[in-house]
Amino acid sequence: MNIGIIGLGYVGLITGVGFASLGNKVIGVDIDNNKINKINTGETPIYEQGLEEKLKEVNDNFRATTNINDLKDSEIIFVCVGTPSKEDGSIDLKYVRRAAEDISKILGSYRVIVIKSTVIPGTTESLIKILEKNDKKVGEDFGLAMNPEFLKEGSSLKDFFEPDRIVIGSYDEKSKEILAELYKDFNCPKLFANIKTAEMIKYASNSFLGTKISFINEIGNICKKLGIDVYAIAEGIGYDKRIGREFLNAGIGFGGSCFPKDIKALIAKSNEIGHEPKLLQEIIKINEKQPLKKIEFLKKHIPNLKGKEIGILGLAFKPETDDVRESRAIPIVKELLKEEVIIKAYDPKAIGNFKKLFPQIKYCSPEEILNSEAILILTNWKEFENLDYRKNIVIDGRGILKAKEAKIYEGICW
Ligand code: NAD
C-alpha cells in the first residue's frame, strides 16, 4: 500500500520504517528540515535499538520529505505529530489541527486519514470540519480513523512488529476494512470500535500504568519507614495474575513524553466536563513528590550541599532511550542547582538532549562520577550494574543491585 506519515518523531518514524519493512511504499513528512536530511542519509534523529539498521534496510520503500504534496497518492495517511500539554495541563492540539489543514489541501481520490497521535476523546471527529474545508466529504471522499499507538520507547521496533493488541476506531466501514487489511498479518488481538472509544482506550491505558507506578511508590514510601524492601513486596503481589509484576518497580516516579502529559490531559478534560478525577490527581501528585525524596535522603548524609560535588548516573527518562522529556532527572537537577551543588552527570545516550536543558552542569564519564562525594542513580541502565560503588555514598532511585555494595547505600523506597 502507499502510506503517508505526518510527523517523523518517535512514533512516526517507527511506524513509517515498520510499514516500509513489511513491503509498503512509505513517504514521511516532517516540518523539521534537519530531521528530514538526517533520515534521508540513513541517520536516525533519535536513538532507538535497531532503528538505524532497519532504516538502511528499507531504503527503497521509505523516503522523507518536507513537502506535504508528496502524499497526494497515499492511500492511508497516519498523523503522528506531537500533542503536548498546555500550561494548565490540557492537551495542545495545534500540531494536529495544522496537520489536518495540510491534509485538506491535498485530498483527491478516497484515502483514509488515521490519527495515531494520542488525542483526547472527541478530537479526531472535531477535525472533520477542517478536513472538509475543500468540499470533500468524510465517509465519501475520505475516510477517518483513530489508531492509538502503544509502543514503548526503548523497544519500539519490537513493539511495532509484536504489539499486545491493535485498536482501530473508525468513522466509516471502508476505513475499517482498509486498516484491517493493512494489519492483517499482525498476530495479536484486534479491537474495532468507534473513534471516541479508541481515543479513550489510550488514555485509560496510560492512566492505569501511571497508577501502578504511583501505587507501588506509595507502598514503597511506607515500606521504607518500616524497614521493608518494596521489591520483595512487588514480587509477592506480582505473582497474583490479577495484579501482575510489570510496572511495579518502585523508584523516583515516571517521566517520558506520554504518561505525565496524558494523565494531565485526562484530568483537564474530566474537570471540563464536570467530574473531579481524584485518583488521577493523586497519581500525578505522588509522581511529582517522588523524585524530591532523593534530595531528602542525600541531605541525611550530607546536610549542607552547597559547593559539594554530586554525581548523577542516568538522565534519560528510562533506559535504552535518549529521550529526556519529563525525565525525573529534571526536577532533581533543578533542586540541586538551587542548593548550589556542583553537578557531574553521565548517561549512555541522553547527554546531548539533557545538555540542551542544562548546559551549565558538567558531563563526564561514569569513572569520574565515582569520584563525587555522593552519587544519585536516576535511570536503570544495565551498565550501571558494572560499576564499583564500594567507596561511595549512593542514593539509588532505581534498584541497582551492585550499588548495594556502596560504602553508604540508601534506596529511595527500600
Ligand atoms: P515527537 O515530538 O517525537 O514527534 C512529532 C514530530 O511531528 C516532530 O518531528 C515534529 O517536527 C513533527 N510535526 C509537527 N507538526 C507537523 C506538521 N504539521 N507536519 C509535519 N510534521 C510535523 O512526538 P512523538 O513522541 O513521536 O509522539 C507523537 C504522538 O504519539 C503524541 O501524541 C504522543 O503522545 C503519541 N505517542 C508517543 C509515544 C512515545 O513513546 N513517544 C507512544 C505512544 C503514543
Q: Give nearest CA residue, ligand 1 atom 3.
A: 9
Asked if the domains 209-289 and 291-411 are classified in one and the same CATH topology, the answer is yes
| DSSP assigned state of 361 | S
In degrees rounded to 5, what are phi and psi of residue 93?
-100, 15
Reported confidence tier of residue 150, pLDDT bands at 50, 70, 90: very high
Q: What is the CATH number of domain 209-289?
A: 3.40.50.720
Sheet strands (E) in 182-240? 190-193
Sequence spans of domains, the chain? 2-193, 209-289, 291-411
Distance 206 CA to ligand 1 centre (A): 17
- This prediction has a pTM of 0.96
Residue 12's pLDDT is 98
How does pLDDT run across 168-185, given as a tens digit for each residue? 999 999 999 999 999 999
How does pLDDT run across 278-309, given as a tens digit for each residue? 999 999 999 999 999 999 999 999 999 999 99
Residues near ligand 1 (Cβ within 6 A)? 6-12, 29-32, 35, 80-83, 95, 98-99, 102, 117-118, 149, 151, 153, 257-258
Nearest ligand 1 atom to the CA of 98 is: 18
Q: Average of pLDDT values for 145-156? A: 97
Query: Kindly report the CA angle at 162 between 204 and 66, in degrees rounded to 5?
Result: 80
Average pLDDT across the chain, whole number: 97
Q: Give nearest CA residue, ligand 1 atom 4.
A: 9
Distance 396 CA to ligand 1 centre (A): 32
Active site residue 258: yes
Is the domain defined by 2-193 classed in CATH 3.30.2350.10?
no
Q: What is the CATH number of domain 291-411?
A: 3.40.50.720
Sheet strands (E) in 129-187? 143-146, 166-170
Distance 12 CA to ligand 1 centre (A): 7
How does pLDDT run across 49-93, given as a tens digit for each residue? 999 999 999 989 999 999 999 999 999 999 999 999 999 999 999
Reported confidence tier of residue 277, pLDDT bands at 50, 70, 90: very high
Distance 259 CA to ligand 1 centre (A): 14
pLDDT > 70 fraction of the chain, expressed in percent and rounded: 100
CA distance 231 to 223: 10
Residue 168's pLDDT is 98
The catalytically annotated residue of 80, 188, 223, 258 is: 258
Q: What is the DSSP string of 26-90?
A: EEEE-S-HHHHHHHHTT--SS--TTHHHHHHHTTTTEEEES-GGGGTT-SEEEE-----B-TTS-
CA distance 193 to 196: 8
- 3-state DSSP of 187-198: CCCEEEECHHHH
Nearest ligand 1 atom to the CA of 83 is: 32
How does pLDDT run across 228-254, given as a tens digit for each residue? 999 999 999 999 999 999 999 999 999
